[in-house]
Amino acid sequence: MKASLFALSASLAVVNATYHWPSPLIDQVEGLLFEGRGEGRPDNDLLDLVGKLAQCQSGTFGESGAAEWIRFAYHDAATHNVDDGTGGLDNSLLLELDRDENVGVGMKHAKADFGHFPNKYLSFSDVTAVGVALASAECEGPIVPIRAGRLDAAVAGPFGVPTPDQTLAEHTESFRLQGFNPEEMIALTACGHSVGGVRSNDFPAMVPGIPGVAADNFILFDTTTALDNTVVREYLDGTTKNPLVVDKNATLISDFRIFSSDGNVTMNKLADPETFDQTCSRLLAQMIDTVPSNVQLTDVINPIPHKVDGVQLSIGANNLLLRASLRFLDRNDNRNVTIHWEDKAGGCASNECSASLINFREVTTTLSARLGLFVTKYDFQVGVNATTSLSKFWFTVDEGDGSASITLDNDGTGYVIEQDTVLYVPNSSTSLTTVVAVRNAVPPMRVFMDIYARGPVLTTTVDFTPATGIASRIGYDFYTFDYTGVDFTFDLHALVDGTTYTEDMRNTYFATNNPDF
């Protein structure tokens, strides 16, 4: 793993040089990768989903969430056409799940798992790419570097995912169109078929069902659940039970035809674990970076050393409330982190513009631990004078080891709070009712919300009405709207005196899970 870690570190400087908070796409993908979650959501994170499904173990019937995610990503990417630059990892698969070439309940599982995470900034296909990196890390496979910026297709693409009954020549041409040469075809298929297996409901001719049981029976590709080269070694030493190698129907043994297509030269190379890891890291990354030629991917996303997220300005009983988290990539129990803020006049009229914390929570994931990180979060929730309000905040950090304290101020700009005219009020909201507060100095002409139901496409725009049950306080009036979608993100807007103020991308998560805020 040392080699992959070094490769990631080498490009760290590139990302850090251009990173500036907020960068919604980078922030979210980075969060999903190294904390397992996005949008500051402590619940329902992607790694938990791997864990719930399988923790890379075989379930009762052999199913593996990690395998389902990797197959899903491959089937989406596999219809790329290198000749005309169309297709690739673009989420067209969601529109192609009724095709025989995409058979399987595993596809529906992956669709449901990933479906919690897309939003205005984050495409379904970027979530799919992240899923491959998490699945590999969870299954002791290689670190897969992740870029972001994939776009989701609005229409289905052409057919073309390889099927077992095709000839070697057809597979070779199919992989060429995907951008892989014959050696890469062998290796990528071995990487993919190192996890999971073949299911009775999908390929009953190869795998018999269990009498009286509707669930899938499985024959796994190899004897370990890890994303390692066991599939290669068992093929070479003749002990493999991989149906795509040993099935009695010679038409269906596509892995045998592919694996042996160069006289086993590539498979013999992959018998070395280090070679297998490095090859799979490179080819799985190429697979998820296979995108239509009009898509521009970001640089590889590396852990951000000091990351701010979960920023929410809201309204308490008699002051404003600022919530923000600062995340470190290491643990230091002596560390004392202080948040500072400045009021709108550029000073601290209220004389109370800082707060300190030494308590952190750990948010390390399998992937970040594999990179040698211990990820810790300091969660601030501070009262801010509603009259003087705030314009920006920043941090000072005392490591408690005698060294000088450092300032984290977003490269000099501070972490800017753009506006306090329209604020989300999670404490009064529920998953069905969204409550916002609007500064009432000038009567607002319109308070409205753009709703994104788990995707980059605007679902609907709705207008709020005055909240009859909530009395105005500290200069704010309250507005409400009932929306029956259970899981969505939204932008809040108030048009006041000719200017539209916006609170960008909030999440229903904050409503139901933060009773104290």
Query: Contact between 88 and ligand HEM (CB under 6 A)?
Result: no
Residue 304 binds what, of ligand NAG, ligand HEM, none (CB under 5 to 8 Å, by partner type)? Answer: none
- Residue count, binding to ligand HEM (CB under 6 A): 28
Stretch that binds ligand HEM, among 186-194, 363-371, 453-461, 474-482 (CB under 6 A): 186-194
Kindly tell me the burial class for residue 226, based on how many C-beta atoms sit within 10 Å of its own C-beta (0-12, 13-18, 19 or more). Answer: middle
Distances (CA, A) of 333 to 237, 305, 376, 400: 51, 17, 10, 9
Stretch that binds ligand HEM, among 141-149, 190-198, 370-378, 469-477 (CB under 6 A): 190-198
Query: Contact between 332 and ligand NAG (CB under 6 A)?
Result: no
State how far the Cα of 432 lies from the Cα of 444, in Å rounded to an integer: 24
Kindly tell me the burial class for residue 371, based on how many C-beta atoms sit within 10 Å of its own C-beta (0-12, 13-18, 19 or more). Answer: buried
Query: Contact between 162 and ligand HEM (CB under 6 A)?
Result: yes
- Label each residue of 217-254 as H, E or C: CEEECCCCCCCCCHHHHHHHCCCCCCHHHHCCCHHHCH
In the complex with ligand NAG, the residue whose CB is nearer, 217 or 254, is 254
State how far the Cα of 387 lies from the Cα of 371, in Å rounded to an integer: 45
Instruction: Supply the minimum distance, in Å, between the C-beta of residue 366 and ligand NAG.
Output: 32
Q: Which residue, 425, 385, 393, is CA-closest to 514?
A: 425
Q: Cβ neighbours of residue 79 under 8 Å, at least 6 residues apart?
A: 87, 88, 92, 96, 157, 158, 159, 160, 161
- Is residue 242 a contact partner of residue 221, using CB atoms and an 8 Å limit? yes
| DSSP 3-state of 377 | strand
Q: Which of 24, 42, 316, 485 binds ligand NAG (CB under 6 A)?
A: 316
Residue 263 binds what, of ligand NAG, ligand HEM, none (CB under 5 to 8 Å, by partner type)? Answer: ligand NAG
Number of H helices, E strands in the chain: 15, 19
In the complex with ligand HEM, the residue whose CB is nearer, 67 or 397, is 67
Sheet with 307-315: strands ordered across: 307-315, 320-328, 376-384, 361-362
- Residue count, binding to ligand NAG (CB under 6 A): 28
Query: Contact between 171 and ligand HEM (CB under 6 A)?
Result: yes
Query: Contact between 502 and ligand NAG (CB under 6 A)?
Result: no
Query: Contact between 236 and ligand NAG (CB under 6 A)?
Result: yes
- Is residue 333 a contact partner of residue 374, using CB atoms and an 8 Å limit? no
Q: Which of 140, 183, 202, 299 binds ligand HEM (CB under 6 A)?
A: 202
Instruction: Supply the minimum distance, in Å, between the C-beta of residue 478 and ligand NAG.
Output: 12
In the complex with ligand HEM, the residue whose CB is nearer, 161 or 304, is 161
What pairs with residue 460 in β-bridges? 451
In the complex with ligand NAG, the residue whose CB is nearer, 127 or 386, is 386
Q: Which residue, 88, 123, 131, is CA-closest to 107?
A: 131
Stretch that binds ligand HEM, among 45-53, 188-196, 366-374, 427-435 (CB under 6 A): 188-196
In the complex with ligand NAG, the residue whose CB is nearer, 69 or 510, is 510
Instruction: Supply the minimum distance, in Å, between the C-beta of residue 158 and ligand NAG.
Output: 22
- Label each residue of 260-275 as H, E or C: CCCCCHHHHHHCCHHH
Kindly tell me the burial class for residue 140, based on how many C-beta atoms sit within 10 Å of its own C-beta (0-12, 13-18, 19 or more). Answer: middle
Query: Contact between 391 and ligand NAG (CB under 6 A)?
Result: no
In the complex with ligand HEM, the residue whose CB is nearer, 280 or 339, is 280
**Tokens 């308590």 — which residue?**
359
Query: Contact between 239 and ligand NAG (CB under 6 A)?
Result: no
Q: Which of 235, 276, 483, 510 binds ligand NAG (CB under 6 A)?
A: 235
CA 130 to chain centre: 5
Query: Contact between 68 and ligand HEM (CB under 6 A)?
Result: yes
State how far the Cα of 15 lies from the Cα of 473, in Å rounded to an integer: 43
Stretch that binds ligand HEM, among 69-77, 93-101, 231-239, 312-320 (CB under 6 A): 69-77
Stretch that binds ligand NAG, among 90-98, 122-130, 260-268, 493-501 (CB under 6 A): 260-268
Please calculate the CA angle 455-492-130 and round it to the nearest 5 degrees.
Answer: 30
Residue 118 binds what, of ligand HEM, ligand NAG, none (CB under 5 to 8 Å, by partner type)? Answer: none
Query: Contact between 345 and ligand NAG (CB under 6 A)?
Result: no
* Tokens standing for residue 291: 């995108």
DSSP state, residue 148: -
Residue 358 binds what, of ligand HEM, ligand NAG, none (CB under 5 to 8 Å, by partner type)? Answer: ligand NAG
Binding site for ligand HEM (CB under 6 A): 64, 67-68, 70-71, 74, 103-104, 106, 162-164, 171, 188-189, 191-193, 195-199, 202-203, 254, 258, 287
- The site for ligand NAG (CB under 6 A) is made up of 165, 235-236, 238, 249, 251-252, 260, 263-264, 316-319, 321, 336, 338, 349-350, 356, 358, 385, 387-388, 398, 427, 516-517
